[in-house]
Amino acid sequence: MVPPDGRPADMAAPDESASPRDGRDADEAGQAPALTAAALDGDRRSLARLLTAVENRTAIAEAAMRRLYPLAGRAHIVGITGPPGSGKSTLVAALTSVARAAGRSVGVIAVDPSSPITGGALLGDRVRMQLHAGDRDVFIRSMAARGHAGGLASTSSAAAAVMDAVGFDLILIETVGTGQSEVEVAAAADTTVVLEAPEMGDEVQAIKAGLLEVADLVVVNKGDRPGAQRTASQLRAMLVAAPRAGTRGTASAEGVSRPVERPRPKQPVVLVTTAATGDGVPELLAALDAHRSGATAGSTPAARRSRAEAQVWAIVAQRERERLASDLLRPTRDAILDEVAEHRLDPYTAADRLLETLTREGPR
């Protein structure tokens, strides 16, 4: 009903989303209380259906979220990201086993890319997560990214909040295979793990801006391969050596004005694991816990604040797009877009005009 985020076609193809929604929305929202209550009661089928509603951004999801969101915030949400084939799914499976042995329930959200051409997707992460089929305290859900760039689906955070609310202790969000700049997962997670495979590159790769900067933990997986330890040492050398002290505004005594409290990249811990055998995975769980307890003392409020901001902004943007896409505005919108297409109007002025129109005569 609502096209996924980030598709350029959003504005061009608004027809279905506009008018016939309301009746169906009311019907749907009516199912929400029962479904939510059953999911909170531990019914996994209802949880699965809620997650579908969240993915499809239906009215059920909105109604359910009003009830569930206040109950969330207790789980440890861990983002796991890294290049394709670095072993994310295998590591998620290994972490799940270790966490289960420690008595914690585990929810997994595994994101794989959608085809930009057909909209289809091949969700293959479960292949590596076979061990926990009979265990009701493990819940694995695959999600297609549905055109959303950044490594996650636009609804991944909301799905994690649902799992959090129904009581999972540890939630692992596995991104699509990422390159250097898909940093969105850091906003979705309390703790961000970036995976690297051995021989990922030389030291220059480690000092480039981007993904590694948002890592709380860097894991060199496939630790049984040659070069794993050397890759870990290189990463440690380059990532941990960054100067950090003295950035607070203490400089006035020297009479020099230095920048006060500039945002700093994180200082990740570097670990080596072999997910396929489980080597190093208990240590990883311990490091996750340590990060969380450290973060709870210090920086988690900031991480949660930025997650809140990302979620709310995404919804605001989506709502604005929906309003702009409404039939009411169609004539104005089409005229303005035509002008831009013909280069008679620049895109900035066009956007200003559309927003003005929205304020003046758009749907509430």
Closer residue to other proteins, CB minimum distance, 84 or 347: 84
Among positions 96-155, residues that touch other proteins (CB under 8 A) are: 114-115, 118-124, 126-128, 130, 133-134, 139-142, 144
Residue 42 as a binder of other proteins (CB under 8 A): the answer is no
CA distance 142 to 261: 39
User: What is the total count of residues that contact other proteins (CB under 8 A)?
Assistant: 36
| Other beta carbons less than 10 A from residue 323's beta carbon | 14
Measured from the CB of residue 68, what is the shortest distance to other proteins in angstroms?
17
Measured from the CB of residue 236, what is the shortest distance to other proteins in angstroms?
35
Residue 52 as a binder of other proteins (CB under 8 A): the answer is yes
Closer residue to other proteins, CB minimum distance, 63 or 232: 63
Q: Which listed range, 49-57, 176-184, 257-265, 326-334, lies at the site for other proteins (CB under 8 A)?
A: 49-57
Q: Which of 6, 11, 29, 56 binds other proteins (CB under 8 A)?
A: 56
Q: What angle is formed at CA 153 by the lines to CA 148 and CA 159, rounded to 5 degrees?
A: 155
Measured from the CB of residue 111, what is the shortest distance to other proteins in angstroms?
12
Closer residue to other proteins, CB minimum distance, 28 or 216: 28
**Closest alpha carbon to 95 in 191, 173, 172, 168:** 172
**Do residues 9 and 3 make contact, with C-beta atoms less than 8 angstroms apart?**
yes
Where does this chain bind other proteins (CB under 8 A)?
1-3, 16, 28, 44-45, 48-49, 51-53, 55-56, 58, 60, 114-115, 118-124, 126-128, 130, 133-134, 139-142, 144
